[in-house]
Structure 1
Amino acid sequence: MAKKNQNQNQTAAGTNIQKVKQQNAQANQGQYGTEYAAETDVQQVKQQNAQANKNKNQNS
């Protein structure tokens, strides 16, 4: 039988419901947290963009 969740602010998987709601509200306002930027490797993105442009120019 499934265990009842005692904390109403968390899902059965342990997700903080209030934090998710807050993040969703910020996303809807266009205010993304710095955590997204921190996960982006700028050099890698630039390299991939350059390669894509090079391939695009060769194919056209």
Structure 2
Amino acid sequence: MANNRQAGRTQSGTNIQEVRQQNAQSASGNSQYGTEFASETNVQEVRQQNAQSQAKKNQRQQ
């Protein structure tokens, strides 16, 4: 069975070096999405929604 893969690519054609670079950017916090979503998140609102959800869950268990 012949190996038709090009060097640096997976069998499905994914560029291995590109994935490694994206992973490194993500780990270092330089992702193009990270700060965008972080700036749009209202932390207080999320905490309030979590508290409401937990309160409803506690009511159902009683």
TM-score by length of 1: 0.52
Change (3 A) 1:53 1:2: farther
Identity of aligned residues (%): 32
Q: Which runs of 5+ in 2 are unaligned?
A: none
Q: Which runs of 5+ in 1 are unaligned?
A: none
Q: Distance in 2 between matches of 1:31 and 1:22?
A: 11
Determine which of 40, 51, 54 is the counterpart of 1:53: 51
What residue number does 2:11 align with? Answer: 12
Would you tell me which structure has more helix in proportion to its own residues?
2
Q: Distance in 2 between matches of 1:3 and 1:15?
A: 15
> Aligned-pair RMSD on alpha carbons?
3.2
TM-score by length of 2: 0.51
User: Which has the larger Rg?
Assistant: 2
